[in-house]
Structure 1
Amino acid sequence: MHGEFKVPGGKLVVVDLDSTDGRISGFRLAGDFFVEPDEAIPAIEAAVDGLPVDADAATLARTIRDALPDGAVLLGFSPEAIATTIRRALAKATSFADYDWQLVRGPALEPLQQMAVDQVLSEEVGEGRRGPTLRVWQWSSPAVVIGSFQSVKNEVDLGNAEKYGFEVVRRISGGGAMFIEPESAITYSLYAPIDLVQGMSFADSYAFLDDWVIQALRGLGIDATYQPLNDIASPAGKIGGAAQKRLGSGAVLHHVIMAYDMDGARMAEVLRIGREKLSDKGIASAAKRVDPLKSQTGLSRDEIIERLIATFGAQTSLTESALTDAELARAQALVSEKFSTPEWLQRVP
């Protein structure tokens, strides 16, 4: 069995192993990381050999850490990264390059349609009717998109939302509220088979699925980093945030919104961002927490999107695609049956 895991912001970890009578055997560790002393590698390999194949990541990491020689230094990886890689090998996890990815650009959709398309494409990929897909959203109107478990009245000033023409909708993933002005946001979704994140915790999978966009932003001259659990940031402030949903159909939905430009004053009027949420940020307002891509790059929104797509395409097999008539019809049905209903929007009043 073979497993690989690129540590976000770090190095590649590669493992090969066998399974004998329910236990790991023939374990070998490699990668482009740094380690001192050299003897740490055979010590790790000896400690992993003989462990049960169903050992969880925490047990694996603890065993590896206990086996390290005194004073050992691991650079670009960690015992936890090795444990994740082992679990991915045992689960026969896949990588981005194992798939032929499809690219969907637009069309411009209403907020309720966006929510429904996310569910439809996730289900289509999970059922094998569509290949793994990157969708770049285009918005037809302003919106506030709240997370699956957020309270409407706690998150949104409904009076100001109506005043300024922002439709309030609820998505299927968790996380925080998204403030959308059509030309001021860059939004994308990844729809992938669950095998892509096999062996990873939710926290690990966020970093893994965002790594390519971090690379793209760095290519634009932005000192972008991943900030657990789900933020993309630079020294100047937050750039964007991610949310994720794993569906029973066998798919993972991972979507991200990044601020291209932003009316911070308007956002503060529409969203109720309380002091408790900002208390650990060392700042007085949500607007000061966000640093849009326009101010950092000077590039147009379309230019940044093209650079993002080019980075993804350089790492994968990526071909142009489009929403099918059947997918659009199913999405429209979901708008009526689910996403536009009070039962869905007000599930947490």
Structure 2
Amino acid sequence: MYIIDSPSQDAYFNIALEEYLLYKYPTQDIFLLYVNAPSIIVGKFQNTLAEINLDYVEKQNIKVVRRMSGGGAVYHDLGNLNFSFHTLLGGNDFMDFSKFTEPVIRLLNELEVPAKLEGRNDLLVDGKKFSGNAKLARNGKMIQHGTILFNSEMSVLGDALKVNPLKFVDKAVKSNRARVTNLAPYLPEGMITDDLKELLIEEMLDLNEGAVIYQLTEEDKKGVEQLIEEKYKTWDWNFGFSPKYNFKNAKKIPAGFIEVHLDVERGGQIEKAKIFGDFFASKPIEEFEEMLVGKNHDINELNAFFKTIDLTGYFGKVTKDEIIELFK
């Protein structure tokens, strides 16, 4: 087994690293640990915009990254330790999460934390969730990864994942907002995330005969960076990959009440747009609706587009910022 402590706190890097290792070492067992700076990691089959508070995320410079596995969206920050097991699919039961959460539970129990696996894939303490786990199978291997809330900023977690459920209608996987807690209050005073990481590394070295610490090479880092640029940093993967959905938003602004309805295809492209309201304008709103068709439901792309047209012709005395808010 290779035990890898990622040298990066960049969510793009660490989520891309999981895929890189999957193909670079197709038969090697791997235990990967990493800590991400503030970021939201979205499940593969989720509608990203329906899982995040976009305004808050942008203002706080929180990265949004889609992972390869299913499940719900999770918030990562420096008070959050993430672990990832890579093994041959072989005879492992894909739906059994206990095998690869057992080392975590055993270590925490040794530290007198009453942690246990409950339900299908959650680790709880005193009835509150501190770890969610997800899986994927690809290239003959299975990856199970999870997050451990150690001393995460709970208020940021709540704000970053707080969305208006009335804006989106789709069949994408929804995140389960269970009651969550940090582990720090249950652990010895003064213990930090890095201490828990080191204990987990020691645990895995003891449990796995022949396990070695593996340092990423420059070739590895370049391979991960290439994957970041080609996939994990792109709007197409993080937002556009979302399943088909319907979007609705309405606001009262000085020019009047405006309500926006969008039908968005998989890939993030607007298929149909309808706009209602009590505003006054000199140009037919149908013309504006038609111009939206074929555009991506990407705030940056729409923002750039709105700069090129006279919005007052369609909505009366409005600003670009007032209109762009309707599409968030």
TM-score by length of 1: 0.62
Task: Give distance in 2, aligned partners of 1:138 and 1:199.
Answer: 27
Change (3 A) 1:110 1:222: same
Aligned to 1:161: 57
Distance in 2, Cα, partners of 1:121 & 1:105? 13
Could you list the runs of 5+ residues in structure 1 that have no partner in the other structure?
A: 1-100, 276-284
Structure 2 letter corresponding to 1:110? D
SS of the equivalent of 2:100 reads helix
Counterpart selection for 2:208 from 301, 305, 316: 316
Which of these residues, 73, 78, 83, is aligned with residue 177 of structure 1? 73
State how far apart, in whole Å, the 2-side matches of 1:261 and 1:226 are. 20
Q: Among residues 142, 160, 174, which one is paired with 1:252 in the alignment? A: 142
Distance (Å, rounded) in 1 between the aligned partners of 2:92 and 2:231: 32
Partner of 1:265: 155
Q: Is 1:120 matched with 2:12?
A: no
Q: Deviations over 1:192-234 (max 9, x none)?
A: 1222xx152x322x11121111111111111111112211111
Q: How do 1:156-235 residues align onto structure 2 when only pairs under 5 Å count? A: 156-182=52-78, 184-195=79-90, 198-200=91-93, 202-204=94-96, 206-235=97-126
SS in 2 for 1:323: coil
In terms of fraction of residues, the more helix-rich structure is 1
1:264, CA displacement in angstroms? Answer: 1.8
In structure 2, the residue matched to 1:337 is 230
Residue 161 of structure 1: how far off its partner (Å): 0.6
Question: SS of the residue aligned with 2:61?
Answer: coil
Q: Residue in 2 aligned with 1:307?
A: 199
SS of alignment partner, residue 71 of structure 2:
coil
Amino acid aligned to 1:310: E
* Alignment RMSD: 2.1
Task: State the secondary structure of the residue aligned to 1:175.
Answer: coil
- Secondary structure, in 3 states, of the residue corresponding to 1:108? coil
Look up the equivalent residue of 1:150 and give its one-letter code: Q
Q: Is the 8 A contact 2:35 2:80 kept in 1?
A: no
Per the alignment, do residues 199 and 315 of structure 1 end up closer, same or farther by CA in structure 2, a change over 3 Å counting? closer
Q: Is 1:154–1:272's contact at 8 Å kept on the other side of the alignment? A: no
Quick check: 1:150 aligned with 2:32? no
Q: Shift of the alpha carbon at 1:123?
A: 1.6
Extract structure 1 runs of 4+ deviating beyond 6 A. Answer: none
Taking the TM superposition and a 5 Å limit, the aligned residue runs for 1:61-140 are 101-126=1-26, 128=27, 131-139=28-36
Shift of 1:169: 0.9
8 Å contact kept, 1:147–1:174: yes
In the alignment, the residues of structure 2 paired with residue 274 and residue 132 of structure 1 have an alpha-carbon distance, to the nearest angstrom, of 41
- 1:9-48 aligned at under 5 Å gives the runs none
Task: Please list the CA deviations of residues 278-327 of structure 1 after superposition, one character each: whole Å capped at 9, or x if unmatched.
Answer: xxxxxxx95x8112111111322222222222222221122111112222
> For the residues of structure 2 that align with 1:218 and 1:173, how far apart are their CA atoms?
28
In the aligned structure 2, how far is the partner of 1:302 from the partner of 1:109? 13
Cα deviation 1:95-119 (Å, max 9, x = unaligned): xxxxxx1111120242111121110
Of all paired residues, the percent bearing the same amino acid is: 22
CA distance in 1, matches of 2:221, 2:6: 12
Q: Distance in 1 between matches of 2:107 and 2:92?
A: 26
Indicate whether 1:295 and 2:185 are aligned.
Answer: yes
Q: Per the alignment, do residues 274 and 191 of structure 1 end up closer, same or farther by CA in structure 2, a change over 3 Å counting?
A: farther
User: What is the CA-CA distance between 1:258 and the residue it aligns to?
Assistant: 0.6
Amino acid at match of 1:336: E
Q: 1:222 to 1:274 in 2, by over 3 A?
A: farther
Structure 2 contact 35–77 (Cα < 8 Å) conserved: no
What one-letter code is carried by the residue in structure 2 that aligns with 1:320?
A: I
- Give the C-alpha shift of residue 342 in structure 1: 2.0
Paired with 2:221 and 2:48, the residues of 1 have a C-alpha distance of 27
